[in-house]
Chains A and B, each alone.
Chain A
Amino acid sequence: MTAVIKTSALRKDFTVWHKTGRLRRQRRVVSAVDGVDLTVTEGELLGYIGPNGAGKSTTLKMMTGILSPSGGQVSVCGLTPVPQRTTLALRIGVVFGQRSQLWWDLPLSESFSLLRHVYRVPAADHAARLRRCRELLDLDAFLATPVRQLSLGQRMRGELTAALLHGPKVLFLDEPTIGLDVLSKQAVRGFLAELDARGDTTVVLTTHDLADIEKLCRRLVVIDHGRVVHDGTVAQLHAAYRSRRRVVVDLDAPWPADLVLPGASVERVEADGLRVTIALEDTTAGELLGRLAGSVALRDLSVREPEIDDVIARLYAGR
């Protein structure tokens, strides 16, 4: 496994000026990224998340050569991004969800053929990649439409295609699903899952949509205040923050308030005591059910997996 992206003690400081008087301003240095160590190996799909202002985009900009680090090292595909930006551009693809790399007044198909020349892609490779994107992202209906007339979902599918036509080793996606409707989100996710399954492209994905992460990323890096606060799988994150599974039971008779459940706690009682949510702490769903079956009249039940939104919210709130 070779490291495609490597950062060590990566920092980015910004200088902000504070108004302290009519003419006086005070200089303050803010670290947007404050010592990030990260190694991403070939073919990995890395979820990179954090609250607004945590330093996600700044990290991505340093990896793509748009910003130079204030300290530490970064290398992508063996290159140093800022000084070797134009060389690196041939090996990476970038989608910034809130920016566009397509030509506003040209049809999508012309933007694509222009990109083929700009990136010097052999015609056959270009055609093969474009065919795959057209199928997976359903582009045919709007290939001839000028980019300015595309809906956001259509444009984002076009952006993804544009970022991949030169066969990049690494794909950087900065909030690619922002503002998309359910269908477009599904299309984008399905496409990324397929890309991940092929295993020849390394993907770094930042998002605020945690469903993206759950569906796509085995590895999750959480950054806050410019520092990595979690680096591991989603399951490890749940374990670290003791996320709990829940059992929701529907009853025929109201919940007896004095019932004691070892290793579990009642979170909520609703519908006049006929629906109860129980969080599992030190026990299994099976043990709990055995205990419940002897004490109450069960009508129905469901087991809920812990939600990533909850654990991330706790993680952000506890900072």
Chain B
Amino acid sequence: MSDTSTSGLPRILAVVAAAGFRRHSTYRQATIAGAFTNTMFGFMRCYIMLSVVDVTGQAGGYDRAQLATFVWVGQGLLAVVNFWTPPELAERVRSGDVVADLLRPVDLMAMVLATDLGRAGYALITRFVVPVVVGMLAFDLFLPADPLTYAAFAVSVLLAVLISATCLHLVALTAFWLMDVRGVTMVWALLSGAASGLYFPLTLLPDWLATLLWVGTPFPSLMQAPLDVLVGRGSAALMVAGQVAWLAVVVALARVVQRRALNRLVIQGG
């Protein structure tokens, strides 16, 4: 039994990820509405940022094209790296449906992460592509010349998706104690938006604060890191290494919290 469980796991998770992709692909109107909204906000954010560059010549160390890329690719990544969708698990804990999840022969967190990778894959070919193409047509974007940069960007995005999904799993796990996770979700949405570089490049912040965010929180790993890797600001290797480190930290934390949450469930009941 144990040998099949180890050799079969990657395949199971691949199928679960494919199902996650399929599940999200059933919501076509939501996809169109989301891509449209992301694109509209792209124009708004881009004009605001560029107006700053027009006055000062640069903003936070980015030139015009880099900044336009930062904004438009950021608008695309917004749906790939999950920021705002409340975790499904929290609702399942509240309703009691989590019981069905626990009766699977596969670890809960592995199922959650695989499903989210599928979701991210679907978002990549829909919600990511639309704003980026529109941005390319409407503005002069900075496009890296080195193919390796694109590869590093892809790795960095994958890491960002995993870090975000793990953090959201942590948010969801608080449901085992709190039942209602709306408060925690709001705090997460606020912090992950403001401290990740989603709303504005973190380089606009005072140095000490930006450093504090990079070193002390996983948030810059979600958005600023992949975008800086793409526009070639700072060391790509260093940023990806930072993401790997943060992924290790949040996964370890999530394992501990999940174990305690499930212990609490099996001892105290739903």
Cβ of B105 and Cβ of A119 under 8 Å apart?
A: yes
B106 to chain A: closest residue by CB: A118
Docked pose: A106 CA to B12 CA in angstroms: 17
Contact indicator per residue, chain B 10-38, by CB within 8 Å of chain A (1) or not (0): 01100110010011001100000000000
Assembly CA distance A82 to B16 (angstroms): 24
A-B residue pairs in contact (CB < 8 Å), sample of 20: A14-B269, A15-B268, A61-B99, A64-B103, A66-B265, A66-B266, A67-B266, A67-B267, A67-B269, A82-B266, A86-B107, A89-B103, A94-B100, A96-B99, A96-B100, A99-B99, A103-B23, A106-B19, A106-B23, A118-B104
Is the CB of B183 closer than 8 A to any CB of chain A? Answer: no
Smallest CB–CB gap between B60 and chain A, Å?
Answer: 41
Q: Please tell me if the beta carbons of A105 and B23 are within 8 angstroms of each other in the complex.
A: yes
Verify if B85 is at the interface (C-beta below 8 Å from A). Answer: no
Q: How far is the CA of A89 from the CA of B11 in the complex (A)?
A: 18
Q: Does A128 contact B (CB under 8 A)?
A: no
Beta-carbon contact of A100 and B100 below 8 Å: yes
| Interface-centre pick from A96, A99, A103 (highest chain B CB count, 10 A) | A99
Contact across chains for B23 and A117 when beta carbons are under 8 A apart: no
Asked if B102 is at the interface of the complex by the 8 Å CB criterion, the answer is: yes
B96 CB-CB contact with A under 8 Å: yes
Q: How far is the CA of A92 from the CA of B106 in the complex (A)?
A: 14
B147 CB–A CB distance under 8 Å: no
Give, as a whole number of angstroms, the nearest-CB distance from A88 to chain B: 9
Q: Which residues does chain A contribute within 8 Å of B269, judged by CB atoms?
A: 12, 14, 58, 61, 67
A146 contacts chain B at the CB level, 8 A cutoff: yes
Q: A15-B268, A67-B269 are in contact. Are A118 and B100 (CB under 8 A)?
A: no
Q: Are A114 and B19 in contact (CB under 8 A)?
A: yes
Given contacts A87-B105, A118-B105, A119-B105, contact A100 B97 (CB under 8 A): yes
Which parts of B61-119 form the interface with A (CB within 8 Å)? Answer: 95-97, 99-100, 102-107
B4 interface residue, CB < 8 Å from A?
yes
- B8: A residues at CB distance < 8 A: 120
- Minimum CB–CB distance for A173 against chain B, Å: 13
The smallest C-beta distance from B28 to any residue of chain A, in angstroms, reads 12
Chain B: residues with CB nearer than 8 A to chain A? 1, 4, 8, 11-12, 15-16, 19, 22-23, 26-27, 95-97, 99-100, 102-107, 265-269
Count chain A residues whose beta carbon lies closer than 8 angstroms to a beta carbon of B: 33
Chain A: minimal CB distance from B30 (Å): 11
**CB–CB A90/B105 < 8 A:** yes
A87 to B266 Cα, complex, angstroms: 17
Main secondary structure of the interface of B (DSSP, over half): helix
When distances are taken between beta carbons in the complex, the residues of chain B under 8 Å from A120 are 4, 8, 12, 105
Pick the most buried of A67, A120, A146: most chain B CB atoms within 10 A of its CB: A120
Which residue of chain B is the closest to A67 with respect to CB atoms? B266
Q: Which residues of A contact B12 (CB under 8 A)?
A: 117-118, 120
A64 and chain B: residue at smallest CB distance: B103
Knowing that A99-B99, A99-B100 are A-B contacts, what are 17 other residue pairs whose CB atoms are under 8 Å apart, sorted by A's residue number?
A15-B268, A67-B265, A68-B266, A86-B106, A87-B1, A87-B105, A90-B1, A90-B105, A99-B96, A99-B97, A101-B100, A106-B22, A106-B23, A106-B26, A117-B16, A118-B16, A119-B105
A-chain residues with CB within 8 Å of residue B265 when the two chains form the complex: 66-67
Cα distance A15–B265 in the bound complex, in angstroms: 13
Q: Which chain A positions have C-beta within 8 A of B267? A: 67-68
CA distance A83 to B97 in the complex (A): 21
In the complex, the answer to whether A117 meets B11 with C-beta atoms within 8 Å is yes
B22 — which chain A residues lie within 8 A by C-beta? 106, 110
A66 touches B99 (CB 8 A): yes
- Are B105's CB and A103's CB within 8 A? no
> Looking at the complex, which one of B4, B96, B104 makes contact with A89 (CB distance below 8 Å)?
B104
A85 contacts the other chain (CB 8 A): yes
B104: A residues at CB distance < 8 A: 86, 89, 118
What residues of chain B lie closer than 8 Å to A89, measured between beta carbons? 103-105
Q: Mark A105-139 against chain B: 1 for CB-CB distance below 8 A, else 0.
A: 11000100010011110000000000000000000
Least CB distance from B109 to A in Å reads: 12
Which of B22, B97, B103, B266 has the largest number of chain A CB atoms within 10 A? Answer: B103
Residue in contact with B16 in the complex, picked from A14, A65, A114, CB distance below 8 Å: A114
Query: In the bound complex, how far is the Cα of B266 from the Cα of A119, in angstroms?
Result: 23
B90, chain A: closest CB distance, angstroms: 15
How many Å lie between the Cα of A118 and that of B104 in the bound state? 8
Q: How does the 8 Å CB contact mask read for A67-100 relative to B, with 1 for contact and 0 for none?
A: 1100000000000001001110110101010111
- CB contacts (< 8 Å) of A86 on chain B: these are 104-107
* A12: B residues at CB distance < 8 A: 269
Closest to B102 in A: A66
**Closest Cβ neighbor of A148 among chain B residues:** B26
Inter-chain contact B19/A103, CB cutoff 8 Å: yes
Minimal beta-carbon separation of B229 from chain A (angstroms): 33
B1 to chain A, nearest CB (A): 7
Say yes or no: B102 contacts A85, CB within 8 Å: yes
**Cβ-defined contact, B103 with A66, below 8 A:** yes
Q: Which residues of B contact A99 (CB under 8 A)?
A: 95-97, 99-100
- The distance from the CB of B14 to the nearest CB of chain A, in whole angstroms, is 9
Q: Which residue of B lies closest to A68 (CB)?
A: B266
Q: Which residue of A lies closest to B115 (CB)?
A: A103
Q: Is the CB of B106 within 8 A of A101?
A: no
Tell me the residues in window 171-214 of chain A with beta carbons closer than 8 Å to chain B beta carbons: none
Residues of B within 8 A of A14 (CB): 268-269
